[in-house]
Amino acid sequence: MKAETQPPTPPDCRQTRDRMQDYLDQTLPKRESLAVFLHVRECGECSAQLATLQSLYEWLDGLPPLEAPADFDARVLAAVPYAAYRAMAPLRSPRVPVLLEHESLPAWVRSRSVRSVGLFAAAAVLAAAATGHAGGAAAWTVAGIGCSPELSVRLQSLSRRIYVATVQRSIPR
Ligand SMILES: [Zn+2]
């Protein structure tokens, strides 16, 4: 904290110092970057502060990279208090729908050949039904069986939506 005897920092200097980090990161819009550049050229104090920051950043950039231990994520998560975890629920909930992804279906359902065979059988039966070569109800039954891998994917997806909706409603706000 500054002593009260010191004169207050002029607005230009304050604004320049607020922008210094972005200026050094080169993330400032051109106009603001130019304003910092011009101010620093005229102002000794800000110029000194910029030089200090710059050498600090150079020193930080020069540090050797550190490899995080393998269990780093797990340890960080374990260190989060349960209350804080609960407080993050609104942030987490949009990500809940990953619960039952396509990848979690049994391998035989996922297999491309099973799905294409199912689709092919369904298409064939439906075509036969459309041209009147098979009984309507029987055709739809066979089509349903033929579609089953596809159907089960859709049903899984539907039940996932219902499950997620239920879970989200049960989370206390
Ligand atoms: Zn200044």
How far, in Å, from the CA of 42 to the mean position of ligand 1? 8
CB atoms within 10 A of CB 101: 11
33-72 pLDDT tens trace: 999 999 999 999 999 999 999 999 999 989 998 888 889 8
How far, in Å, from the CA of 53 to the mean position of ligand 1? 14
How far, in Å, from the CA of 24 to the mean position of ligand 1? 16
How far, in Å, from the CA of 9 to the mean position of ligand 1? 8
Length of the chain: 173
Residue 147: pLDDT over 60: no
For position 106, what pLDDT does the model report?
63
How far, in Å, from the CA of 7 to the mean position of ligand 1? 13
How far, in Å, from the CA of 33 to the mean position of ligand 1? 14
- pTM score, two decimals? 0.38
Rounded Cα distance between 46 and 32, Å, is: 15
For position 132, what pLDDT does the model report?
55
Rounded Cα distance between 155 and 11, Å, is: 63
Between 74 and 107, the more confident residue is 74
Rounded Cα distance between 103 and 101, Å, is: 5
How far, in Å, from the CA of 43 to the mean position of ligand 1? 5
Q: How confident is the model at residue 134 (pLDDT cuts 50, 70, 90)?
A: very low
How far, in Å, from the CA of 59 to the mean position of ligand 1? 24
Classify each residue of 90-99 as buried b or exposed e, where b means 16 or more C-beta atoms within 10 Å of its C-beta: eeeeeeebee
How far, in Å, from the CA of 4 to the mean position of ligand 1? 19
Tokens 């009984």, residue? 135
* Cα dihedral 29→30→35→36 (10° resolution): 70
DSSP designation for 69: P
How far, in Å, from the CA of 36 to the mean position of ligand 1? 9
Between 43 and 172, the more confident residue is 43
For position 17, what pLDDT does the model report?
94
User: What average pLDDT does the structure give for the chain?
Assistant: 74
- Answer yes or no: are the C-beta atoms of 16 and 40 closer than 8 Å: yes
How far, in Å, from the CA of 44 to the mean position of ligand 1? 7
Q: Is the dihedral of CA 26, 29, 35, 38 positive or negative?
A: positive
Between 7 and 104, the more confident residue is 7
Which tokens in the block code for residue 127?
């075509």
Reduce the DSSP state of residue 76 to 3 states and report it: helix
Rounded CA Rg of the chain: 32
Tokens 């050094």, residue? 24
What is the average pLDDT across 89-114?
60
